[in-house]
Amino acid sequence: MKTTRIMKWVGAAVLCLAGWGSVTPAHAGPNIDCRMHFQLSGWSVFYKTATGSGTVTCSNGQSMHVHIRAKGGGLTFGKTEVDDGRGSFTGVYNIHEVLGHYAAAEAHAGAQASADSQVLTKGNVGLALSGRGRGWNIGIAFGAFIIEP
């Protein structure tokens, strides 16, 4: 019962954080399909931090190597490593729109091998993440998922 309430609370927080994203101008032309494959590792003791790298590829032939950072805080403890992460972007008209700070909120608990998924926002751009990894963690965290060139 408590887990359900926590997940509802985290979901509401994500929606609130989504409204803080930057507003992007209207675009002429179709969206492009962009996907990201990445690796990420980090730790948390109240403060959560992780770093990694990946490659974004788009349906219009563009691709870009990216650096990834995740940071935030909350009631969280653990150490994790994602070695087969995947992301799918929505609302993208140019590959450079995937860069920036995405609002993040999560409730997590796991030990040993695990799988996770998360939806993040940055203005009109959405990012759905999924991945497999290993480690241990527990808690609730808020912060940013940052994609840089």
Structural domain of residue 106, as residue ranges?
A: 2-148
Q: 3-class SS at 4?
A: helix
**pLDDT tens sequence across 34-78:** 999 999 999 888 788 999 999 999 999 999 999 999 998 877 788
The pLDDT value given to residue 27: 55
Q: Which two tokens stand for residue 102?
A: 């995405």
| Higher pLDDT pick, 6 / 122 | 122
Say how many domains are in the chain.
1
pTM: 0.76
- pLDDT at residue 113, as a whole number: 67
Closest CA to 62 of 24, 101, 93, 20: 93
C-beta of residue 141 within 8 angstroms of C-beta of residue 48: yes
Neighbours of 23 (CB within 10 A): 6
Q: Indicate the SS3 state at residue 79.
A: strand
